[in-house]
Structure 1
Amino acid sequence: MNNRILSLLETIRTSFWFIPALLVFSATLLASLVLSYDRYWQDYTPEFLQFIYHTSPESTRAILTTIASSMMTVTSIAFSITVVALSLASSQFGPRLIRNFMSDRGTQSVLGVFVAIFIYCLLVLQSTKSVEDLQFIPGMATYFAVLLAFVGVGVLIYFIHHVSYAIQADDVVDKVHCQLQKDIDRLFPNQTEWNKQSEPKALFMDNVNFSRAVKAGKDGYVQTVDFEKLVAIAKEHDIKINVLAKAGDAIVKSSTLLELSVETVKSLPDDAALRNCIMLGAKRTPLQDPEFAVRQLVEIAVRALSPGINDPYTAITCTDKLCAMLCDLSQRPFPPSLHTDDEGEIRVCTRSFEFSQIANASFNQIRQYGKDSIAVTIRLLESLILIAEHAANDNQKGFVQEQSDMIGQACEQSTFCKKDKADINYRLQQIREILDK
């Protein structure tokens, strides 16, 4: 799928307007259908339902007005609760976690249901008439409005429970971890053919002279890179492209995005077309950036370790989730850095993510901010033991060795008591034994 469409879908997914808009449209359609039934098929209503028409227009309007005003009041309360939850999430877990709350389908649906019931009642209310001989009582539509009012009460109860549960630290961490695991499954699928690269990247770079640079037209973060489009452009103009930017990079105006090999080229691609293959935005997104959700978990852990919050258990939970992710990632093949056209010729070279890069982003700040917490330090070492047992190559083992060495140095300089230092050194020794196997 086109990267711009993916970016648009991501924006829609994290918005408060899309699902409510769909529900309002559905309420409008439902009101039209039920009112059409009341106008044209009222005589075919079964006898046991005829009682819904045995009322006056005044009582019908009173019922609809009561439901509509109640739904608008409840909508205001729901929006207020949502804003309070967002403020609490921003202060306790970090402002970047607001995106996760905004993408919550439960909250979006609740707000949409309340607004949709309100709109439905307004549409039915305006069709109720009692002017001299002209009288129309939308009995079936009013009956549906009463049923929707019961639905609204149930949704309100669900919403209060949902918000109370959603702002708990363990639930927030688990949701971020689930999103991180989905991103890992999408960005690092188990494709065995990725392990077979026809030509090493270093050899390819040595044999190709990239002599023309394409500069960025604006500042921003790299959100997506359209590799398929770049391969198509490279094949069309018979060139090779070296992509210097990858998802998550901060780009400044006039910095180099791409390099082209142009020695024997008859026609050059337009710079604007090449720039369009790399989408820049004001913020990072998880579309192609595996560190996005990692940094969210790290931010929760770092805030939990701050003196104002002092919640090491939340930091330990984040460490456990990151450890589980890294153990899974260690068994997955990484996307190739060389991309070929349909004839098998290498056209595009990219900067690919490495295990150590993602792993260091997961552990560095937690290690730095948690160096005075014995419980966090020990859990970091226990996580490194698990990662060492799953390590499949030197890059992964090097990460474990580097992190354990830094923890060991911090331990030597700390004022921990002998027993605590012994616990730490015991786990450091376990790591050495596993890496030496």
Structure 2
Amino acid sequence: MLSPLREHLRDTFWFAPIVSMVAIFALWTGATSLDEAIIGWLRDDEAYEEIADLIGIADDAKTIVTTISAAMMTFIGVVFSISLVAVQMASGQFSPRIVRIFIRSRITKATFSVFLSTFLLSLLVLTSYESETDPRYVTVVPLVQALLTLVMVALSLLLFVAYVSTTLQLMRVGHVVERITTEALSVLAKQPLYGDEVGELGAPTAFLVHRGRAGVLRDVNVAWLVGGAQRHGVVLRLLPRIGDFVVPGTRILAVHGGQVPRRLASAVSLGVERTFHQDLGFGLRQLADIALRALSPAVNDPTTAVQCLDRIVQILAVLANRPLGSVRHRDRAGTVRLVQDGPEWTDLVDLGFTEVRGCAAASPQVSRRMLAGLDDLLSLVPEERRAPLTRHRALLTQLVEGAVPEAADRAFALESDRQGIG
């Protein structure tokens, strides 16, 4: 039940800062109570000289806390303004869809959260200072709070260094395609078993339609649907695939063997863009987008396209012997309760190679790398999966032969090379 919610919160940028500020308020409350307890204990022992010393130390620390309060918000604005410009440049160079890497970055959220928490803490600490200077009447000396603020400043500096390093990596194509590949393979690792037979479901007895706003099908709450289907003794089939655009009134769930309440349709989550959570093809989509942009006349960067092809081949190699297609979700008794259609092997091969192949004729580096990748995959896949790979190899050969007039250039462009040209 928590998995879709966790993924949706990871795609937001507001949740972590709010939680951190609530936590820092609670921490400040505890530090205030500790400061009050220290003063109360010293007053009980009539240690007024020690209280006076603490007041002097706290007054010295007040200057530092005031400086932190004044500088932190400006620092936050400058740092993140520059970072957003860098992310915008990276999205223009690679693909707009890589912005979500920045949004989902844990170090980015941690840095922003700690910066805001430090600013909030400095303001709260300043409210704890009293105008009273007589040790006999002082109720709190914010010494612990000031020390806590200095600790938060030190943590902010450390996170700032890590944040700058992460942001600079985000502008490097190798790091970006590696992140995309890692997330794509993590989706595969979380998928349930494919390929087992469900049996004939029969004609649907009911349909659930989408009644909300239009959007891209991001994911479904599998636990909720499986539990609802088990309670009503039915089997559900998800009609659109993850990543499809759904409009109001579209049938989204077919019910086999009975009826279910209409509220089960709310287990299907729609958004403005695709996410990695349950979308097996989204990683290949992003890699193909980056390669296409790199091969455009405005960019003309075939080496980036080759790096994307490296990762496309890697993902397809992992999928080479994995059963694909419809996913069967079972209840605890082992009965299939939800059938979810997924991409077939041919769909994924076409997604990874079709558009890039159309731009490969003008770059021998890309055609040579694609041929090498197709040859490697042909050596890995079983016989029944070779057809789409053979088709793409033949189409690439025809494309290069028709676009390159010189025989020597054609022979060079059609030579298999894992580094493209090198």
State TM-score, norm by structure 2.
0.84
- Give the 5 Å matches for 1:41-52: 41=38
- Give the equivalent residue in structure 1 for 2:121: 120
- Give the equivalent residue in structure 2 for 1:29: 26
Structure 1 residue aligned with 2:396, among 407, 432, 435?
A: 407
CA distance in 1, matches of 2:329, 2:67: 63
- Give the equivalent residue in structure 2 for 1:53: 54
1:356 pairs with 2:360: no
- Give the 5 Å matches for 1:142-291: 142-187=146-191, 194-197=194-197, 199=199, 204=200, 208-210=202-204, 213-218=207-212, 219-226=214-221, 230=225, 241-260=236-255, 268-270=259-261, 272-291=262-281
CA displacement at 1:295 relative to structure 2: 1.1
Q: Which amino acid aligns with 2:216?
A: Y
- Give the 5 Å matches for 1:78-89: 78-89=79-90
Flag the 1:256–1:179 CA change in 2: closer, same or farther, 3 A.
same
Aligned residues: 405
2:56 is paired with a residue whose SS is coil
Does the CA contact (< 8 Å) of 2:107 and 2:159 recur in 1?
no
Flag the 1:329–1:68 CA change in 2: closer, same or farther, 3 A.
same
Q: Which amino acid aligns with 1:373?
A: S
Q: Which amino acid aligns with 1:22?
A: V
Which segment is superposed worse, 339-348 or 18-27? 339-348
- Give the equivalent residue in structure 2 for 1:431: none
Q: Which amino acid aligns with 1:405?
A: A
CA distance in 2, matches of 1:249, 1:25: 38
Q: Where do 5+ consecutive residues of structure 1 fail to align?
A: 429-437
Does the CA contact (< 8 Å) of 1:56 and 1:137 recur in 2?
no
1:397 pairs with 2:386: yes
Q: Deviations over 1:274-323 (max 9, x none)?
A: 53343333322222211122211111111111122211111111110110
- Give the 5 Å matches for 1:123-134: 123-131=124-132, 133=134, 134=137
Structure 2 residue aligned with 1:380, among 337, 359, 370?
A: 370
Which segment is superposed worse, 102-111 or 11-20? 11-20
- Give the equivalent residue in structure 1 for 2:99: 98
Q: Deviations over 1:310-346 (max 9, x none)?
A: 1111111111011011101112233655566667666
Does the CA contact (< 8 Å) of 1:223 and 1:288 recur in 2?
yes
Q: Where do 5+ consecutive residues of structure 2 fail to align?
A: 43-49, 418-422
CA displacement at 1:65 relative to structure 2: 0.3
Does the CA contact (< 8 Å) of 2:217 and 2:270 recur in 1?
yes
CA displacement at 1:368 relative to structure 2: 1.6
Q: Which amino acid aligns with 2:38?
A: W
CA distance in 2, matches of 1:240, 1:139: 63
1:37 is paired with a residue whose SS is helix
- Give the equivalent residue in structure 1 for 2:411: 422
2:168 is paired with a residue whose SS is helix
Q: Which amino acid aligns with 1:414?
A: A
Flag the 1:239–1:37 CA change in 2: closer, same or farther, 3 A.
closer
Flag the 1:160–1:338 CA change in 2: closer, same or farther, 3 A.
closer
Instruction: Give RMSD over aligned pairs.
Output: 3.1
CA distance in 2, matches of 1:345, 1:116: 49
CA distance in 1, matches of 2:10, 2:141: 40
Does the CA contact (< 8 Å) of 2:367 and 2:414 recur in 1?
no
State TM-score, norm by structure 1.
0.82
Which segment is superposed worse, 239-248 or 78-87? 239-248
Does the CA contact (< 8 Å) of 2:97 and 2:286 recur in 1?
yes
- Give the 5 Å matches for 1:320-359: 320-334=310-324, 336-337=326-327, 349-359=339-349
Q: Deviations over 1:134-159 (max 9, x none)?
A: 44432233233334333333333333
Q: Which amino acid aligns with 1:9?
A: R
CA displacement at 1:12 relative to structure 2: 1.3
CA distance in 2, matches of 1:72, 1:366: 45
Q: Which amino acid aligns with 2:411?
A: A
Does the CA contact (< 8 Å) of 1:78 and 1:111 recur in 2?
no
CA displacement at 1:66 relative to structure 2: 0.7
Flag the 1:258–1:81 CA change in 2: closer, same or farther, 3 A.
same
